[in-house]
A = this chain, B = another copy of it.
Amino acid sequence: VDVAALEHAFDTNRDRFLRDWMELLRFPSLGGFPEREGDCERCAAWLRDWLSAAGLPAEVLSTPHRPVVFAERGGRPDAPTVLFYGHYDVQPADPLEQWTTPPFDPHLRAGRMYARGAEDNKGQLFAVLAAAATLVRNNALPGALKIVLEGEEECGSRGLYAKLAEWKRRLAADVLMVADTGTVPSGAPTITMGLRGVAFLNARLRGPDHDLHSGTHGGLAPNPALGMARLLTTLHRPDGSVAVAGYYDGVAPPADEERRLADAEPFDPAEYRRATGCDPAGGERGLSAALRRGFRPTLEINGLHSGYAGPGTKTIIPSEAEAKISLRLVAGQDPAHCLEAVARHLAAHVPPGLRLDIPERAVGGPGFRLRLDSRAVARARRALAGVSPQPTAFLWEGASVPVVSALAEAAGAEPILVGFGSEEDRIHAPDESFSVEQFRKLFLYAARFLSHP
């Protein structure tokens, strides 16, 4: 199937693709919220029906948590079997008041689709499904295709993890195709060569058993907000590195060729500032941006809350402070080991008079790096060559798709990650969007990748 024919197929079916994509975006399929369980089930059923109607016979498989949609279509035994992985769950949409249009009421404005999940991951997964459906209709799928769409990627993939061993035969494939990543800033087609792992913990410092008057008790009661500030400050050294003993155990440094390719990609601080509103002043001093993001772990605070948040003032010493902490880990680090190291560090640095507890901790998954000489990488480069005149870029990403390592291992497949996300998409934030042009490029790549083994 050549590019011109695929472009024609896209243009012919564009309105139908957009309409169906919008239907998919209407489900508030938040994976981690009990009150959204029904929405996740309805979203999974919709995907099953859509795939089946497209000639990709699908079913909804239950797990201990959110259901998984699984589709399978046979192919020539001599062509590699592809397993496509995506997730239909989305991040929470708050703060709601910062959305121009409601997060679950998709709107197309100036060529961009706005909705929670417009990019991550409903937009990207649906571009691949649309490509696969087009190939089925044209009888142009050479190898077998399996599709697995889970509903808990944003909160730890618990349901899929629980079933990986049981579904090993069902998932078996040669290549694990994932479209949950982005391109380099130039927009050149990009193969993501690595992802970071992730783990989480929530830390709580308790002082008084109720909020105290800050006049009567100021100078007597220990202040959990101040204590938490002091505790969190101990996590990093002034040079930006993580001060937790054992945190860097096992970190694999980049090979020379990896370092060369990573640093070859231009990084423009002015462009970064334009896209984010801030200078790239985070992370470790003295390392390039590409190395800091792709080859070094970080330790971030995602939420920090204590005391009064309303208008004006309230003169209290808060009874507690809570920090939501996440660890981004690189190939070679063991997430459970790092989580334990952080927990131990926190316990060893509790300020006087306060009590620490860690009510939640969870491992997402480890980081991983692809080999530059892999067969799947070569196949993706061939597919991308037809989509864009720009040369393909190689990116070692900072983000995580925690289940990818585990799924690749269970399926016996080589992972290949190509996506067309960009900074402009504002994933995980208000006004998330994905352009029809990004959708179209991913459609073309996926159709070429799937049709040319």
Contacts and interface: CB of A to CB of B under 8 A. Distances in A.
Contact of A32 (B198, B277, B312, B399): B312
A33 to B, nearest CB: 7
A399 B308 contact: no
Interface extent on A, as a size class? 35 or more
Interface stretch (A138-146, A212-220, A257-265, A444-452): A212-220
A282 interface: yes
A326 B302 CA distance: 25
Interface in A263-292: 272, 276-284, 289, 292
Contact of A311 (B32, B296, B307): B32
A94 B272 CA distance: 40
Contact of A304 (B210, B218, B235, B321): B321
A94 B98 CA distance: 24
Interface stretch (A368-376, A377-385, A422-430): A422-430
A232 interface: yes
A283 B214 CA distance: 12
Given A200-B313, A276-B208, A314-B91, A222 B301 contact: no
A220 B307 contact: no
Contacts of A230: 229, 232-233
A223 B315 contact: no
A262 to B, nearest CB: 13
Contacts of A309: 303, 305
Contacts of A222: 278-279, 281-282
Given A305-B304, A353-B281, A215 B314 contact: no
Contacts of A154: 315
Q: Which of A302, A397, A398 has the most CB of B within 10 A?
A: A302
A415 to B, nearest CB: 17
Given A32-B312, A212-B429, A282-B217, A223 B277 contact: no
Contact of A300 (B214, B304, B319): B214
A66 interface: no
Contacts of A316: 302, 428-429
B308 A228 contact: no
Nearest to A197: B215
A189 interface: no
B315 A282 contact: no
Contact of A229 (B233, B283, B305, B397): B233
A162 interface: no
A318 interface: yes
B278 A209 contact: yes
B428 A213 contact: yes
Contact of A293 (B196, B220, B232, B323): B220
A86 interface: no
A226 interface: yes
Contacts of A352: 279, 281
A354 to B, nearest CB: 8
Contacts of A328: 214-215, 218-219
B279 A353 contact: yes
A225 interface: yes
A221 interface: yes
A317 interface: yes
Interface string A74-112: 000000000000000001101000100000000000000
A446 B200 CA distance: 58
Contacts of A232: 225-226, 229-230
A323 B314 CA distance: 12
A399 B302 contact: no
A333 interface: no
Top 3 closest pairs, chain A to chain B, by CB: A281-B353, A209-B277, A215-B399
Given A220-B282, A303-B314, A304-B321, 13 more contacts: A92-B310, A98-B210, A209-B276, A212-B428, A213-B399, A214-B326, A215-B400, A217-B282, A225-B302, A226-B235, A277-B319, A301-B306, A302-B314
15 contacts: A154-B315, A213-B399, A214-B328, A215-B399, A216-B399, A221-B276, A223-B301, A229-B232, A229-B301, A230-B232, A302-B314, A302-B316, A303-B307, A304-B307, A305-B309
